[in-house]
Structure 1
Amino acid sequence: MNATQHSVVVTGIGATTPLGGDSASTWDGLIAGRSGVARLEDEWAAELPVQIAARVAVEPTETIPRPQARKLDRSAQFALVAAREAWADAGFTAKAGEDTSVSPDRLGSVVASGIGGVTTLLDQYDVLKEKGVRRVSPHTVPMLMPNSPSANVGLEVNARAGVHTPVSACASGTEAIGYAIEMIRSGRADVVIAGGTEAAIHPLPVVAFGNMMAMSKNNDDPQGASRPFDTDRNGFVLGEGAGVIVLESAEHAKKRGARIYAEAVGQGVSADSHHITQPEPSGNGIALALENLVAGTDLEAAQIQHINAHATSTPQGDIAELKALRKVFGDDVDHMALSATKSMTGHLLGGAGGIESVASILALWNRTAPPTINIENLDPEADADIVRDKPRALPEGTIAALNNSFGFGGHNVVLAFRTV
């Protein structure tokens, strides 16, 4: 790391997921090996090939007042719930400026979504067709904008250093956190609230992903449908929710006496340039992201004791990721406890990197790797130390965790966190 760059730490975490309405209940669900997937009870799902998904455990309207919620797409509602938790968890008592420990001009927001306000767009189009022009909500445009979650979080905390929304499909949330790290390392901001959110459980996305043969159609066994690294895996299960963290320069965090969960070491980014939806089967693009991470930081392979894998439960993607890890780290992969938490949460698309960063940070904080559930017959090509069925203790000393995310379009983003 360049001597002029600032060290970055994590001081707050927040989440709303299929396992719980906050980060604590989500972590408890992960450690318990509990699935958040269920059969969809909506009338529109009854005749679809895919009838399962992982909805949030707690509806955002339980904490967001209805007048405010009506002006927010569901993805922005999730982001706001997670951001409020993370902000309070970091020890801030009000928005920047009112809480004098952080300046609005030195505070940023980077919250990503892979799809944005798709439910608003589709629902309001139905209103237009069925009820006419006058019934379309005047809030439609600011609700459907992909930058709406980040903008609303920025408004919530009074962020003026920059409000950003990287969009890179299922790598969006991870790229958002990586961008936030760089904002602080470069000196643009002292504090950045960052993460990912998604709300796409709607007939059109479900049908579209299903017709791509990307989603599991195991409707008779919802909780067993997401099965990364299992020989019978047959696609991902769609989830929803958000994960948000508060990042700070180490100097700023120490000055205000903040609790520090972990160091945010840095990111590695690359692109496959292979196919718009299919991963590069040898894992070369993923390997380049891992190599860029190592080259741009002081991270040592021996420190990496845990990996939160992207592992969506697709036949090609799961194995390509492991090939990449083996290519870059060789035999060191054998001591990296690998967890595939999408087996429990489903796949949150652009929100995945947010909640999986929260899971990675809590794994370091609690020195415990969550289990991967639903592996009944391990794929012979799954050449890694996969944590199965029950959590595993992580070693003492200075250890690091990776969070891997890859998206349609060939986007590859890897984050590293380390104990302090």
Structure 2
Amino acid sequence: MIEEKDISLERTVLIGVITKEQDEEKSREYLDELEFLTFTAGGYAIKRFTQKMDMPNPKTFIGTGKMEDVRLFIEENDISTAIFDDELSSAQERNISKILNVKVLDRTNLILDIFAQRAQTSYARTQVELAQCQYLLPRLRGMWTHLERQKGGIGMRGPGETEIETDRRIVRDKIALLKDRIKTIDKQMAVQRGNRGKMVRVALVGYTNVGKSTLMNVISKSDVFAENKLFATLDTTVRKVVIQNLPFLLSDTVGFIRKLPTQLVDSFKSTLDEVREADLLLHVVDISHPNFEEHIASVEKILGEIKSGDKPTIMVFNKIDAYQAEHLDDDDLETERSEKHYSLEEWKSTWMSKVGNNALFISALNKQNLEDFKKRVYDEVREIHVTRFPYNQFLYPDYNYEDME
């Protein structure tokens, strides 16, 4: 649980459901993540509410009895915001707001808000604004019901447009404008990528908050912003890295997350061009997280969506120091044996058997095993470079060029 450190943090409640597809354990994991998202956005979760249901209520997401419990708690504890773990329809959002009489957000809205806070460059801000407009468009009716009537008065009689139709047209025009702006920036970035020449491109990918930016800083000796919060990095950063006189380009990309809003996947696909055009992916994983295997599956799913799932990939299991510290007491005989209690050596054995020598175990923060990491990356990049430039023997005098004939 995240401790409240600042009275300026918004007091919130979190609401989720337990269904056949999302059992109690998974619901708890999602709410843990939602709590971290809330903290990242500037809020503090006072209490969680969950309800077992076959499927969410189409009108109010949760049942009326549970909703009344939430309403009473909000009134008695000075809560300003209710945050739901799944995306709400415009009707659900409107109905819930009337009942609770506080600000109502869903997971998508919360992530969009974090992205808006974190966007630094004009490109990232444009992408976030596009995603926000796409999210807003179907929800205008709920937000502006007080304006949903015919304009009246002198010169305004007749059919005309309702305020809600005007607002929709404005948002649609804004979406078209933002898409055009992104296309223009995409062309400029494509030219920049073309100007980088034929250097091998390596991209860091992974779940949010797994240590990609920390690893980027260590390897490239740069100063990319890194913080123990979700989505610390939104803007793709590219650095030239040299290992053993072999130069290549290393890019740090936006982190992925479960239930990633489709609006963000669509608007950030252009940012992920760095991933699509990479020759090698370094899939960074936080091995200290109890659900890291599910994180891997989420990242692989999104890589498949952007047609990058078949690229050469090295699995980089990071934060082995945190994993070891967390599992010092795992020898307790009373502890039920499960995957969560595997030793680091057992995880190594498991993943080495899955992906062969394409698995590395490091701590970017404490610089553990970084020499093995650098050697493995160097070998991969050299192989790609030699394939691309088979006769550059000056760069690679130790390479057996006879094998190329």
TM-score range, shorter chain: under 0.3
Larger Rg: 2
Greater helix percent: which structure?
2
TM-score (norm 2): 0.27
TM-score (norm 1): 0.26
